[in-house]
Amino acid sequence: MFQGKRTYAFLTLPNYSLIALANALEPLRMANRVANRTLYEWQIASLRGEPVAASSGLQMTPTVALADVGKVDVLFVCGGINVREAVTTPLTKALRRRAETGGALGALCTGGYVLARAGLLNRYKASIHWENVHSLREEFPLVEIRNQVFTIDRDRYTCSGGTAPLDLMLNLIERQHGRQISHQVSEQFVLERVRDDHDSQYVPLRAQLGFTHRALTKVAQLMEENIEKPLSLDVIARQTGLSRRQIERLFQRYLNCVPKRYYMEIRLRRARELLLQTSMPIMEVTASCGFQSPPHFSKCYRRQFGRPPSAERRGQGAAEAVVPVGR
């Protein structure tokens, strides 16, 4: 466990998301407070050093020039709306210089787009706000875009928007300074469940596809509506007016998986929500998510999330089984 002081810098881009930045900063401040010592220091930066307006119109001060930011543990790029317009040649060059010195880079909300444009996410796993998932996958095939709320891959720390940076920082605090401090921070923020990198952000199917494909959307909707008693592919085909082969082709072409796998992931995500957000017995979760037996459910769950349902439930604790904060 790392015990020393960590330093972060947050590079604000025009129209950045203020809620994303605040949810990254506040856990650091609170960690210092509950530990009664300086665990974290941070700077707000912009490319030229002047305060930049967030999408809400508010500005952060003091703000320093990126060139004046010294060595930090992680430089986070803070994105928001119209992120494409924020990318400039001086910005990408400055970020590449940072990467060449060996410093870690991160991104909040749509900041991952900037790192991808600079070529700094090639062959990395990364997360970004769901509205940008499809476009990044199309534009940057060397980047492995995930649907998770946040992703830590070697020296890249990326997350979605909204409250996702809060989950990222709490996970980092736990890694660096222990579960007790992380838990105390979450208590101060009345946050009763901290999401981890197994948690997926909700990504509407239209965002995954990049356009509305009515047939595929209808198939997915039927699956979502029939979790407890899963439908066979033949039944789904009859209800949508498609053939089995057409459905298989649609899933393979647009979602890069077979229908059975997609259906299973929907059911397992629902199961995880029930395990973490309710006190339902595991046997009831098993039945409500369409699994015939606890051993089969446990095997599928472990394969998807890396640990069995019983360990998932124990890891959270009975007092933490409540509805999580959204994005």
Distance from C-alpha of 150 to C-alpha of 159, rounded to nearest angstrom: 4
> What is each CA distance from 132 to 81, 113, 294, in whole angstroms?
10, 8, 37
Q: Which tokens in the block code for residue 233?
A: 């592919």
Dump pLDDT digits (tens) for 257-295: 999 999 999 999 889 888 886 788 999 999 999 999 999
Helix axes 244-254, 259-277, angle to 10 degrees: 70
Distance from C-alpha of 241 to C-alpha of 257, rounded to nearest angstrom: 21
Find out whether 5 and 173 touch, Cβ atoms under 8 Å: no
**φ and ψ at residue 138, rounded to 5 degrees:** -75, -45
State the pLDDT at residue 321. Answer: 31
Dump pLDDT digits (tens) for 1-46: 556 799 999 999 999 999 999 999 999 999 999 999 999 999 999 9
Q: Tell me the range of 126-140, 197-211, 216-230 where mean pLDDT is highest.
A: 216-230
pLDDT score of 326 more than 70: no
State the pLDDT at residue 320. Answer: 33
Distance from C-alpha of 287 to C-alpha of 293, rounded to nearest angstrom: 8
Pairing, β 40-46 against β 144-146 = unpaired
Mean pLDDT confidence for 146-150: 91
Please tell me the pTM assigned to this model. Answer: 0.72
Provide the CB-side half-sphere exposure for 283 (13 A, CA): 0
Neighbours of 32 (CB within 10 A): 17
Mean pLDDT confidence for 180-204: 88
Is CATH 1.10.1520.10 correct for 218-320?
no
- Same fold flag, 6-188 and 218-320: no
pLDDT score of 317 more than 90: no
Q: Which tokens in the block code for residue 220?
A: 């997915």
Confidence of residue 136 (pLDDT cuts 50, 70, 90): confident
Domain residue extents for the chain: 6-188, 218-320
State the pLDDT at residue 212. Answer: 52
State the pLDDT at residue 72. Answer: 96
Q: For the structural domain made of 6-188, what CATH number should be given? A: 3.40.50.880
Distance from C-alpha of 106 to C-alpha of 172, rounded to nearest angstrom: 12
Q: What's the chain's average pLDDT?
A: 90
State the pLDDT at residue 310. Answer: 92
DSSP category for residue 15: T
